Amino acid sequence: MSISAMVVDDDEFVRGTLSRQMSGLGVTRIAAAGDGDEASRILHDQGPFDVILLDLMMPGTDGIEFLRRLAKSHDRADLILTSSLDRKVLETAESLARAHSLHVLGALSKPIRSSALGELLAKRSGRLGNRHAALPITVERLKAALKAGHVVPYFQPKVCSRTGAVRSVEALARWEDPVEGLISPARFLPLADRHGLIDELTVQISTQAFETVGAWREQGLQTDLEINLSALSLEGVELPDRMIALAGRHGVDPDRVIFEITESALIGNLSQSLDTLTRLRLKGFHLAVDDFGTGYSTLTQLKMLPLSELKIDQSFVSHAAGDSEVRAIVESCIALAGQFGLITVAEGVEDDATAGLMKELGATLLQGFRFTCALPATLLQNWWKERLVGSRRTPA
């Protein structure tokens, strides 16, 4: 079934990027507008669109005013709201759109990944969800989902920049709701953090991920496994013991497991974080810093932490090919990682040009929609077998 879409954003580069992403996801008719006035003219001249990607902050007619126009015209497009402002602004705008009886597929913070767009388009088509309005995410609902096993890992591969071989997979929490479909982690992970459910969620994701890589190993598919840790989880002294027990139970070598933390996780209780991270490393696990360049890491902290891997934030990687200053930042991050003896992962690789540039700059591993978005275990296994049947882990 063909899909039409209009991208409304005042930034020409963003309009072009989103248009290319939508085209790559199968959208057959795409229009672009620089503000709400131009978007209104396009709607008048070309007729309705199935999907509208709408930036909230634009000069002239901004996104909120354009929402009012859509409501008055009873437009039935599926909306994807976007913004570089904080998440609260997006949530408020989403609530406002629903109050106008507009249909919102989702709200995405910039920069926008093709994988996130793909999930929303899949939700629209009914493959990952249905047309029911999103229900409020409550603590009780999340607890029930955890108990029922509806929160599961999806896996996104990291490939060697030189050979293209799968070196690792990152386990990412997804909520498969039987009514609403696939629920974005942005909607439930903050709730899990605030209400003390993040450790239970992490253990569930880790358990399922260990089971999965164990099953893959028996089929000859060898891979490292990366699991995300919350800042709150680092405050628990029992975490290293729980993880080594889980790994042992499922026959997973700790040397093939990487625990990932964000830079911002380091600015809280640093002494307790160091305690937990050091004990994880002593038990044989590896450690990575995610979203490097967007937080508060200092050279002292990087030197202090027993890290194995540094992940360069996708907001830098995705723009490096078209921006010399951003490219210089990425190049500096890779050089810095080399000085510390760390593997580098370039996140947000969404096209061949970016993949080639990251290889040229010396990134060890590549991750992004250029290869695949995060997939359920079975689909990732099928993708992997089609790509590298019988291949073994190749040193980078």
Query: What pLDDT digit, counting tens, does each position of 138-148 carry?
Result: 999 999 999 99
Which domains does the chain carry? 4-125 (3.40.50.2300), 139-388 (3.20.20.450)
Q: Distance (Å, rounded) from C-alpha 117 to C-alpha 123?
A: 10
pLDDT at 76: 82
Mean pLDDT computed over 377-393: 72
Residues with Cβ within 8 Å of residue 226, at least 6 apart in sequence: 158, 168, 169, 170, 171, 257, 258, 259, 260, 288
Residue 335: pLDDT band (50, 70, 90) is very high
Task: Tell whether the torsion through CA atoms of 99, 101, 102 and 107 is positive or negative.
Answer: positive
Task: Please provide the average confidence, as pLDDT, over all residues in the chain.
Answer: 86
63, pLDDT greater than 70? yes
Tokens at 269, concatenated = 């209780």
pLDDT at 267: 61
180: phi then psi, degrees, rounded to nearest 5: -85, -20
201, pLDDT greater than 60? yes
Q: Which residue has the higher pLDDT, 127 or 138?
A: 138
1, pLDDT greater than 60? no
User: Nearest-5° angle of CA 298, CA 350, CA 191?
Assistant: 60
Tokens at 231, concatenated = 């800042």
At position 11, the amino acid (one-letter code) is D
